[in-house]
Amino acid sequence: MVIGVLKEQAPETRVSLVPEVVAALVKMNVTVWVESGAGESAFFGNDAYTAAGAAIKSAADINAQADMVLTIQPGNAGHARPGAVLMGVYQPLFNHRQMQQWADKGYTVFSLDTIPRITRAQSMDVLSSQANIAGYKAVLLAAYSYSRYFPMFMTAAGSIPPAKVLILGAGVAGLQAIATARRLGAVVEVFDTRPAVKEEVMSLGAKFVEVEGAADASKAGGYAVEQTEDFQRRQREKIHEHARKSDIIITTAQIPGRKAPILITRAMIEDMRAGSVIIDLASVTGGNTDLSEDNKTVMHNGVAIVGNSALPATTPSDASKLYAKNVLNFAKLIIDKDGGLNLNWEDDIVKGTAITHGGNIVNERVAALGG
Ligand code: NAD
């Protein structure tokens, strides 16, 4: 079969396959076509793709003839020939109308952001590979925007205390943010509704802020669940106490398919000292603060609230490399030894990642939204 890689639309800088992964697919008897310039903004040139065994084609050729079309964002997907396979990160719970249109075109759509969070799927988990980068970059962005130092300094000209960083949500992004902030010498406090992460947080040298009585998320397949009103009130009080003493807050709390929970209110921001910085990684789903705006920096009383959901795209080479590796590992599940498509609907990962097939929405949560 032919797998086609389309160039993403700006501001996206990543590309869904890198030359190293093209070579692996070619070995699996797959023909790979790459749109000219697709890897340019991630620093992979056309030559590197052809050396790896791909052919450089136009988007029109790829859309007209490829059996599987890869993009990361949904924006330029959906022009493939009827019946093709589309694979990318499509946020189907938010873009459910588009999913219905794609079902109507007979596409088989795999959205890698819905992959089940089971051990076997870890090597295919794009949310994890990209969140790791986002957590790292969030701290660097905070350090860059912050009006003071991160590490403690004792110099002849006087002493500087270490920055106090509060991280809300200790998932993949949050844990990487803890490690990065600690490496820069900050004092780090962390809050998460899942008490299970306390040990991991402490092993990274951070302090865990506890609020009793969180809703049990252990049956949500590795994803967070919504909390009760009473828990949220107590959580807000506790976070307020810690936020007012923090110089940097990094928020990462997301609930799949729902608006992100508000963890930092306007009043808390007004209690922070001027020159402090909040980085909100949940801004794409509404944000974790009252004042966040996606891909904007809002200044309020001298506090910068940076909504940034596109941090992986600021590290395009490594982000693409890891993303492409995730794609390859998933592709191995659906490609047979002759390089043909072979969909095993008994496989939980294949089933869990499929959104549309045979003219229908096959993902129950997306179908429940009614197309
Ligand atoms: P995420 O991006 O959905 O959420 C980030 C964090 O925010 C989570 O830890 C969540 O508990 C937390 N959160 C949600 N609501 C909150 C609230 N109101 N207040 C504070 N925190 C809140 O999650 P993620 O980082 O993608 O993954 C979470 C966890 O899932 C990981 O730490 C890992 O243990 C597990 N996981 C497993 C696999 C796998 O087995 N394949 C893959 C990825 C993640």
> Per residue in 5-27, pLDDT tens?
999 999 999 999 999 999 999 99
| Atom 39 in ligand 1: residue holding the nearest Cα | 117
Are the C-beta atoms of residues 283 and 294 closer than 8 Å to each other? yes
CB contact set of 222 (below 8 Å; sequence gap of 6+) = 116, 117, 118
Whether 125 sits among the annotated catalytic residues: the reply is: yes
| Atom 29 in ligand 1: residue holding the nearest Cα | 171
Task: Render pLDDT for 176-199 as a digit per residue (tens, 0 to 9).
Answer: 999 999 999 999 999 998 888 999
Task: Render pLDDT for 33-45 as a digit per residue (tens, 0 to 9).
Answer: 999 999 999 999 9
Are the C-beta atoms of residues 70 and 88 closer than 8 Å to each other? yes
Which 3 state secondary structure label does DSSP give 296? strand
pLDDT of residue 213: 74
What are 68's two structure tokens?
A: 């599987």
| Atom 2 in ligand 1: residue holding the nearest Cα | 254
pLDDT of residue 228: 82
CB 288 less than 6 A from any atom of ligand 1: no
Can you point out the beta strands (E) in the chain?
2-5, 31-35, 55-57, 68-70, 85-88, 108-111, 153-155, 158-160, 164-168, 187-191, 207-208, 248-251, 277-280, 296-300, 303-307, 354-357, 360-361
Q: Please give the model's pTM, rounded to 2 decimal places.
A: 0.92
Q: Give ipTM to 2 decimals.
A: 0.94
For the chain, which residues score pLDDT lower than 50? none
CA atoms of 278 and 179, how far apart (whole Å):
17
Whether 117 sits among the annotated catalytic residues: the reply is: yes
Whether 122 sits among the annotated catalytic residues: the reply is: yes
Whether 223 sits among the annotated catalytic residues: the reply is: yes
pLDDT of residue 226: 72
